[in-house]
Structure 1
Amino acid sequence: MDRGVIQMEQRDKWATKIGLILAMAGNAIGLGNFVRFPTQVAGNGGGAFMVPYFLALFLLGIPVMWVEWVQGRYGGKYGHGTLGPTFYLMARESLKPRSALIFGLIGGALAFATTTLLNSYYLHLIGWSAAYSWFSISGAYFNVESTAKFFESYLSNHGLVFLFWGITVVLLAIAVGQGVSKGIERWVKVMMPLLYVFAVILVIYVFALGSPLGQPQWSTIKGFEFIWSPNWTYLKEHLWSVMLAASGQIFFTLSLGMGIIQNYASYLGPKDDVALSGLATVSLNEFAEVVLGGSIAVPLAVAYAPKIVPPEVLAKGSNAALQWISENFGLGFSYTSLPNIFVQMGTAGRFFGALWFLLLWFAGFTSAIAMYNYLTALLEEDLGISRKTGTWIVFIIYFLLGIPVVYINGYLDQVDAWISFQLALLALFDIIVGVWLFKPDNFWKELHEGALINVPEFYKWITVIIAPIFIALPLFGTFTDLVSKTLGWPAKIAIIAMLIIGAIEAYYAIKKKYGEELEKNEVIIKL
């Protein structure tokens, strides 16, 4: 230990390795796997999307995942589970403390804004899934004129919307309030295996379904062909847009650029493996997304196309019908067209509909719990508020931030568009701070500290050079249009407010522990 070493406080730790991996996988596996991924595949040429998707996974997803695991464990050594202090500590390797503080403020602002704004609407989407699990079991949408109108009616019933939102968030508060090892870990050990069981049952059913309407041109096999047949012509004509979509999906699906992977990794011991654990997290997520998530919604939509595609479009042939599905396959599709498919299944549709929406609820819950814990850890570690009290403060924060999601038309889509940009921005700063400023050799050494695998040397240079280029290119092309054309004033106010609050909180947390360093502008506390 160097001079100025202080005794770090004891923090909660993961009780088991499998608990950590399941929690990290649960963090990554969410609505993005079962709703957003099929949407991106369908909307970007089917098989044309899969080529750049896997390219982005290996050149972007895996290296940034390792960076975030390293950052989390490094911050945890100093007793930090939030990004502001962690960025500050890593930036000190190349900069004086006052300059490093700037990056601490950036990290704190972006992570706070992400975990507040993303969960402000994500929790409502999870609530929708909880509601539709009940609607499926009870058959509420089985005898209505239109499943689309039923969804609109549900969204306009604000009391019902907040009821299912409340059930979800109260359970989240209970889980997070119990701590990491006794709360989060225990919950994900139950929910994650069930999530996989539900998904596998649905995939087996889809495979066995074949041509449910007795029309061979419309079958689940045709749906699989749409996803897995490389469409080189479409890719050539839409290369840039498909590449951007693939990169964006990787951020969403792996929960990169949020600060929550670092938060979970901060509860590791200083010599616990991060190399194999990070790779295992990616593998579990990709299995859930590509193998399971890609094998349910799109094949079902193709098999039941005659029941959901407008007759005038259907009359133009299968290509036109597939194009219609591609253009209309979005978030609402799961709550409008898929319920129509479950209705066509008859009695079995109630079971499989409930299973599908319960799968979405479990997936969303295990992701939201990580963002919930980030804010709770922030209150606990930086402001000295007890964990149990902090969980209910976070509950109130999410309730207030969720109000415009329910009452302001277009607000959800606008904030979501900004979050998509912000995820890439924070991931870029992950590399700037966690690799460049921390220094590549230090990063590589930290990655292999206690590692159970030896990461190939070429990944060091992918992380240093290729990954940041991969991230930076779409950022430059989208910022101006995003701010000037997409965001309304309610969304702009919410985004700016959360960024400012996050920066102020990060400044307070860093100054509280490293005030003497900032005053003298030299490193004093060093492990």
Structure 2
Amino acid sequence: MSAPKEVWSSRLGVILAVAGSAVGLGNFLRFPGLAAQYGGGAFMIAYFISLLIIGIPIGWAEWALGRHGGSLGFRSSPGIFHALIKKPYGKYLGVIGFIIPVMIYMYYVYIEAWCLGYALNAATGQLSVPGMNYGEFFGRYTGAGSDGVALHFGLHDVGLFVLIVYAINFWFIYRGISKGIELVCKYAMPALIVIALIVLARVLTLGTPDPLKPDQNVLTGLGFMWNPGDISEGLKNPQLWLAAAGQIFFSLSVGFGVIITYSSYLTKKDDVVLSGLTASSANEFCEVGLGGLITVPAAFMFLGAAGIVGQGTFGLGFNVLPEVFARMPAGQVFATIFFILLFLAAVTSSLSMLQPGIAFLEEGLGIKRKASVALLGLVTAIGTGFVWYFSKDLKALDTLDFWVGTLLIFIQATILIIIFGWTVGIEKGWAILHEGSALRAPAFFKPIIKYVTPAFLLTIFVLFILKNVFGWNFSLGDAARFEPTSYVRDLVGPNPDKVARLSVLFIALMTLFTGILVHLAGKHWATHPRAESDKN
């Protein structure tokens, strides 16, 4: 009737797995770049407020709902929502919880391949080729220069590494929870932290790399990242709050549909309050304590502010940092281990994105592990192939990331917090959260979860739409300006972009496909209701 029973072998295992899901490229590339861009002090205030208002509350809601759903015999968002809401539409609310991790995996694994490829190219001293700077190498390597050019399989090509990381991911996801995901995270997470500490020690002991530029030293590098600037003015900037809240979603993996699946394999004896806080703390240590002290200060010491400002996540990680390592003593060694660090962070995250899909296929369609892995492998291979081929300007990747990896996450997080605080009810939800708990969450989080978090989410979501869809400049009166952004112009503008349209069509087809699967799952659950023996 159901998939074989799977459990975590230890509390440490699930904490490391959830932390591994959260710790990814955003910790070491996206977070430092945003903090530097928006002025360290002001950004960090908005960041920690967002952590308290949306990060921790939504995380606790996911942990609690997931474990409770697991006790009813369900492991995926569609199944858990079906069990909790007890209405025909309930299971369809879980569609997003399948789409988000599966579709993010489709392009995330492509980026993961960059990390492994850069590590091996750095180790062999071939991180660039004659006649190319690092930006040009990145464009050639990732296929950003033209569609289809990345479909090659040499050491200087991403294709070989796409196949390698794809095989690694599906081998371990096939092995299951304890022998696959947990095993990887138990070794990868400590290794990741050790490597990050080694790189951090090297950065903090660089002193003044160029005596001719005494202002570009380790202290000014840290200052560029962390000096508060004009905090009051910074906090008035709606874009800063958008960036901070968005980083919390990316950083903690809340709203991805991952935590709710991971926690469904726990029992009522497990302390999800403490586990949730521990996993969040591990992520924050990696993000603020390691990522925030490595990337931007290192780049500033060698390249100055001009080498950092305006660089996005990819530009900072794959264009700027290779140049920094090239100028650093023993730079080849540190470049190699840094990209190994990024690869480890990426693989623990990508594995987590596959498990919700596997769990749904097993429980919703009643198929075995091998068949579910094969089906998910086929579906994600189509998506990854799409991103891989339509690589010019990374348009397919960027479009999927915006509509799925950003927009849908806001919606999924809102659904989760409303189900916990209103559908289940805050009192019952609070009791579910504290089953088997030695540590109690502060009582003031009850009104935060029920009222403040949904209101904050709605406000941030409206601002996000106004800025990223309608192009509002956040001015009022005569100074207000609305210019539809490229995400809209690419679809309905006078010169629409073919790849962007194909990407949105692909999202629509995936949504339809998932909806059909959920419909079939509903029939399966009606015929084979979860029994008491399915409980943890």
**One of 140, 146, 149 as aligned partner of 2:136:** 149
Which moves more between the two structures, 473-482 or 385-394?
Answer: 473-482
5+ long unaligned stretches in structure 1? 1-6, 307-320, 518-523
User: After the TM superposition, which segments of 4 or more aligned residues of structure 1 sit over 6 Å from their partners?
Assistant: 524-527
Asked if the contact 1:106–1:503 (Cα under 8 Å) also holds between the matched residues in 2, the reply is no
The question of 1:114 aligning with 2:100 is answered yes
**Structure 2 match to 1:241:** 239
Q: Tell me the CA shift for residue 26 of structure 1.
A: 0.5
Higher relative contact order (CA 8 A, sep 6+): 1
- For normalisation by structure 2, the TM-score amounts to 0.87
Please tell me whether residue 132 in structure 1 is matched to residue 144 in structure 2: no
1:164 equivalent in alignment to 2:155:
no
Aligned amino acid, residue 266 of structure 2: L
Matched ranges for 1:42-57 at <5 A? 42-57=36-51
Stretch deviating more after TM superposition (392-401 or 203-212): 392-401
1:383-436 deviation per Cα after TM superposition (whole angstroms, max 9, x unaligned): 232213322332222221012212223111111111211111100000111221
* 1:58 counterpart (46, 52, 55): 52
How much has 1:468 moved relative to structure 2?
A: 1.0
> Partners in 2 of 1:261 and 1:338 — Cα distance?
32
8 A Cα contact 1:260 1:371, kept in partner: yes
Q: Deviations over 1:74-113 (max 9, x none)?
A: 1111221110121122223xxxx2xxx3232022x21122
Q: Does residue 332 of structure 2 align to residue 338 of structure 1?
A: no
Q: After TM superposition, give the deviation of residue 178 of structure 1 in Å.
A: 0.9
Counterpart Cα distance in 1 of 2:46 and 2:462 = 20
Q: Would the aligned equivalents of 1:27 and 1:255 in 2 still touch at CA under 8 Å? A: yes
Counterparts of 1:9 and 1:389 in 2: how far apart (Å)?
11
> How far 1:454 moved relative to its partner?
1.1
Structure 2: which amino acid aligns with 1:502?
Answer: T
Structure 2 unaligned residues grouped into runs of 5+: 144-149, 471-484, 492-499
- Do the aligned partners of residues 194 and 525 (structure 1) sit closer, same or farther apart at CA in structure 2, a change above 3 Å counting? closer
Residue 313 of structure 1: aligned partner: none
User: 2:321 corresponds to which letter in structure 1?
Assistant: L
Aligned to 1:174: 171
Residue 515 and residue 391 in structure 1: after superposition, are their counterparts in 2 closer, same or farther (change >3 A)? closer
Q: Which moved more, 1:399-408 or 1:445-454?
A: 399-408
Find the counterpart in structure 2 of residue 381 from structure 1.
363
Q: Identify, as 1 or 2, the structure richer in helix.
A: 1
Pairwise CA distance, 1:478: 3.5
| Greater displacement, 369-378 / 391-400 | 391-400
In 2, Cα distance between equivalents of 1:446 and 1:233: 39
Over 3 Å counting, the alpha-carbon distance change for 1:379 and 1:241 in structure 2 is same
Partners of 1:246 and 1:125 lie apart in 2 by 23
Q: CA deviation at 1:273?
A: 1.4
TM-superposed deviation, 1:9: 7.3
Distance in 1 (alpha carbons) for counterparts of 2:455 and 2:489: 25
Which stretch has the larger CA shift, 497-506 or 16-25?
Answer: 497-506
Q: Please identify, of 142-151 and 119-128, the stretch whose mean Cα deviation from structure 2 is larger.
A: 142-151
Partner of 1:497: 509
Residue 183 (structure 1) aligns with: 180
Find the partner of 1:392 among 374, 398, 402: 374
Once the two structures are aligned, what percentage of the paired residues are identical? Answer: 34
Q: CA deviation at 1:117?
A: 1.7
The answer to whether the Cα contact below 8 Å between 1:12 and 1:267 also exists between their aligned partners in 2 is yes
Q: Distance in 2 between matches of 1:277 and 1:354?
A: 33
Give the aligned CA root-mean-square deviation in angstroms.
2.3
2:474 match: none
Q: Which residue of 2 aligns with 1:210?
A: 207
Q: How many Å separate the matches in 2 of 1:439 and 1:55?
A: 24
SS of 2:39's equivalent in the other structure is coil
Match of 1:484 among 485, 488, 495: 488
The one of 66, 70, 79 aligned to 1:76 = 70
Could you say if the C-alpha distance between residues 39 and 486 of structure 1 is closer, same or farther in structure 2, counting changes exceeding 3 Å? Answer: farther
Matched residue, 2:478: none
Supply the distance in 1 between the matched residues of 2:344 and 2:66 (Cα, whole angstroms).
25
Q: Which residue type is aligned with residue 326 of structure 2?
A: V
**What is the CA deviation profile of residues 37-66 of structure 1, one whole-angstrom value per residue up to 9, with x for unaligned ones?**
122212222332111001101111000000
* Whole-angstrom CA distance in 2 between matches of 1:162 and 1:436: 47
Change (3 A) 1:267 1:233: closer
Q: Per-residue displacement from partner, 1:185-208 (whole Å, max 9, x unpaired)?
A: 111111111001001111111111
